[in-house]
Every structure is written in structure tokens, then in C-alpha cells.
Amino acid sequence: MSAGLNVVGESLQRYDGAGHVSGQTKYTADLTFPGMLHLKVVRSPLPHARVRGVDLSEAERVPGFVRALTHADVPHNVYTILGLIGVEPEEEFVLAEDRVRYVGEPIVAILAETEAAANEAVARVGMDLEELPAVFDMDEALRPDAPVVTHWGNNTFMFEGHNCRRVRFGDVEAGFAQADHIVEGEYRTSPIEQAPLETTGAIAVPEPNGRYTVYTNTQALYFSLDNTSIILQVQPNRLRFVGGTVGGGFGGKVDVIVEPLATLGAMRTGRPVRYVFTRQEEMQVSSTRSPWTIRIKDGVLADGTVVARQVTSLADCGAYSRQTPYALTKHAANAAGPYRIPNVSIDAYCVYTNRTPTSAMRGFGVTMGSFAVEVQMDKIAEVCGLDPWTVRFRNAHHNGDVKPHRKAVADCTLIETMQAAAGLVGRELPPDLMAMSSAPRAEQEGGR
């Protein structure tokens, strides 16, 4: 190995640390360009409504007003953020057409010479909205008589023809039949706003060569470029995206929200366009972490061995799915936990409601499942009268075990990690647990 490449165990200074603490780091919102316009959005005040008309006449009289953009100006006005990896259907409108489905959904974009003029013009846009019934609870959204959020007629994302992501492994009913105990639990998590210090934003600048340079604080630069290319129906080589310091993201800046409209504004006016969320917009309309309801039913032997696990999970994606179908797939693959369970049934639903669309945040899909599973393991220990550490060691994955989605466990260190964690918190484990390892079960049994 070349000299100077050994960094493990070393305390290294962050390459960008000095700029951050001295205030010299440039963020997207710090940039300015000659002739730059400001873009602000007219948003729905209702959670569900039919758009019967928009009146721009008063907005156009505001000094500094330049132009408005409606859905008719967007070349490809629907998109699915995950469309690049084949997750469909396209469902979310860049600018609303005939309906709005959540409070804050964008309807019209206003371009003006100053931010103040843009805000004034937004306030003067007249809207004729016919309010429609709305649904905000996932269980209610799944009822046959619930208000329909989607434009295809039901309130769930469809996975290969099914209304949920399904995992089947073994025979869960047979597992329940052999169990000494049935342990059930319901677990709920709330939506969480990532609250980055720098709000979501982008500045699009026309270049003399016909290209557009987009300065953005996205967490997924090429993802955003490709989706913007599709929405605007321009070749990707006409777009140059410049990332940089992301002033906090945590998953909330993965969605393609501001870049398409900023770039469209630059294309329609020939001038730089700045579109940056206010703090209120960041809290109201940027994607939060999904709220979840997770219901677990376990069949357990008297010694704490879990022989059957049935999981029904509901993830509230809000009015549009964004990243949630991907989160559901990750969730379904991990909803049984890091434990060897011979009989598993998992149904994970992506549920549409008239709430703000939800998306990525810190291990989305897996984090909530881990919370539910680990509280459930504590319940099992209580029911069986066992120590919670013992229950986890007894059920822990070993190398070679097969997970419910039929992937063999490899390089598993769960047992070793729990042993180390016990040492760090001063918990003395009994000798039989300390003697365990993540080696394949056959090897350990053969060594006894």
C-alpha cells in the first residue's frame, strides 16, 4: 500500500471544516447572477380540490412581474421520481392540472424581478377551487368508501398487480399452531421534517452555448439532472448541474422539486432564475419521513424461539408516492428483523392520503421496521419470562441462514456486535451467550 493512505484510526480534519466554521463556505442560496429573476409558487390552500380556474390578471399588474408558468408550459408535466429505475406509474404533476391533492401543492409559478414582487404577485393570483372530500388516515384510506386520492382509482401503490409488497416464507399459520405463545403489537411512527439549515433551492443560468447550468443543493446530482431532462424534454447534455455543499439534507433533498421549474423559467425568459424555499415552505411542502403503522403477530416457543412472524405495515406516502415504494421494498426485506424465523408473512402497503408527500430520511423503511421489531422482541422476552438479551441471541442470524426474501446471510456479525455492546454498557453476559458466534449453525453444532 502506498505511503500516506492509512487513515483508519487517525483523527483527520474535515476538508471543508474551516470554511464552515469561518462562514466562508458558499451555499446555493448565496449565489447571485446579473439579471436574476425570482420564482415563487402559488400553492393550494386546500387538501383536495378540483381546479376550475386561475386568474392572473391582478398578478400581472404587480410592478416587476415578468411572467407566469402553468402546467401548459411544462413539456412533460408528470413524473415519478423513481421512474429512472422503472418504478411507475407517473403520478405527480410538476404544476397541478385539474386537481390538487394536498395543502401546498404547486399550481402556478411566478417569475419576477425581485423576491418581494414575486411574493406580491403570488398573493394576487385568483383561484377557483371546488373543495373535494379528503382522507388523512391510512386505515380510513383503505376502506372501500374512502375518498380516492389517486387518478387510477384506489389508494395504494400497486406492486406487480398486488396492492402491497408481499413476502412469503414457510407456512406462517403452521408456525402459529406450534407456538406456545402468540405475541402481538402495534407500533406507530410520526412524520418528521428533516429541517436542514439550508432550505431546498436551485438557481438555473442560461449559457451562451445554449446549455443551462443549474446550481443546486440536491443530494442526488445526476438523479436530479436526468429527471429534469425528462420533465423538460431536453437532451441531458444541454444541462450542467453543479452541486456543492448541501446545507443539511438527511434524505430530504433527494427529491426533484425545485430544479425543473427553475430551469424551465430560465428557458422561457432567457435569464437566470432563483427558486429557493422559504422556511415555511420547507416545513410545509418538502418531503417528510413517512408516518408508519406496523402490526406484528408472532408465534413463540416457551424458550423464546420465534417460529412465525406476520407483519402488516402501512406507510403514508401522502398525495404522491415519491420514494415510498422503494422504502416499502427495503422495509419488506427487513421487516422480520435480523432474526432466523422459519415462517414469515409480510404485507407492506404504500397508502395514499391527502397529506404532504413523504420520502427519504435516514434509512427510510428500515429504521421504522427496526424500531417495531426490537420493541416486539422485548415483549416476547416479557411474555416468556426471559432476559431480552437471551431472546435476541437465541434468534439471531448466523452466516448461511436464509432470510424471508430468500437471500442467504453472509458476513453477519450481529452476535459479535451484541457481545461488544454488552461490554460497553457493563452488562455481564452468561458464558453460553459469550461462547456464541455468527459462524454457520452447522459448524457450531458440529463443534459441540
Are 70 and 108 in contact, with CB atoms under 8 Å apart? Answer: yes
Pairing of strands 358-359, 288-289: parallel
CA distances from 17 to 10, 27, 196, 220 (A): 17, 14, 18, 22
pLDDT in tens, the chain (448 residues): 456 667 788 888 888 889 989 989 889 989 999 999 999 999 999 999 999 999 999 999 999 999 999 999 999 999 878 888 888 888 999 999 999 999 999 999 999 999 999 999 999 999 999 999 999 999 999 999 999 999 889 999 999 999 999 999 999 999 999 999 999 999 999 999 999 999 999 999 999 999 999 999 999 999 999 999 999 999 999 999 999 788 889 888 988 899 999 999 999 999 999 999 999 999 999 999 999 999 999 999 999 999 999 999 999 999 999 989 999 999 999 999 999 999 999 999 999 999 999 988 888 889 999 999 999 999 999 999 999 999 999 999 999 999 999 999 998 999 999 999 999 999 999 999 999 999 998 877 655 5
pTM above 0.85, yes or no: yes
Chain center to CA of 354: 17
Measured in Å, how far apart are the chain's first and last C-alpha atoms? 41
Q: 301-310 burial by CB neighbour count: b if 16+ within 10 A, else e?
A: eeebbbbbbb
Q: Give one DSSP letter per residue of 13-76, joined into a string.
A: --TTHHHHHHT----GGG---TT-EEEEEEE-SSSSEEEEEEE-HHHHTSTTEEEEE-GGG-TT
**Among 315, 352, 348, 325, which Cα is nearest to 146's?**
352
Rounded to whole angstroms, how far apart are CA atoms 328 and 440?
Answer: 30
Closest CA to 314 of 88, 140, 91, 81: 140
131 - beta bridge partners? Answer: 49
Question: How far is Cα 147 from Cα 162, in angstroms, rounded to an integer?
Answer: 20
The residue among 184, 368, 205, 400 whose CA lies nearest residue 289 is 368
Question: Which helix (H) or strand (E) element contains residue 240?
Answer: strand 239-242
Beta bridge partners of 345: 168, 310
